[in-house]
Amino acid sequence: MAKQIIDVTPKWVNLVPMFISWIQEGTPSQKEEARLSIMQLAKIADTFMAHREHGGLTCKCGDTFELDK
């Protein structure tokens, strides 16, 4: 029987409200985690936007992520 892998990675859209809450009311470690995570998201978004004029990005799996101009 083949192993089945279940991806439980949360979606950013679901994490942002938690990070906002942590920044507003969290412990110092929660605030730092939120800051680091939002910076990671910003770097990813900047990479996507930098490739917008080239038609998007192609993943190693072969999927192409196209971005609207």
**Structure confidence at residue 68 (pLDDT):** 61
pLDDT per residue of the chain (69 residues) written in tens, 0 to 9: 788 999 899 998 999 999 999 999 999 999 999 999 999 999 988 887 777 777 667 777 877 776 665
* DSSP per-residue letters across 8-64: -PPPHHHHHHHHHHHHHH--HHHHHHHHHHHHHHHHHHHHHHHTGGGT-EE-TTS-E
**Structure confidence at residue 24 (pLDDT):** 97
Predicted TM-score (pTM) of the model is 0.66
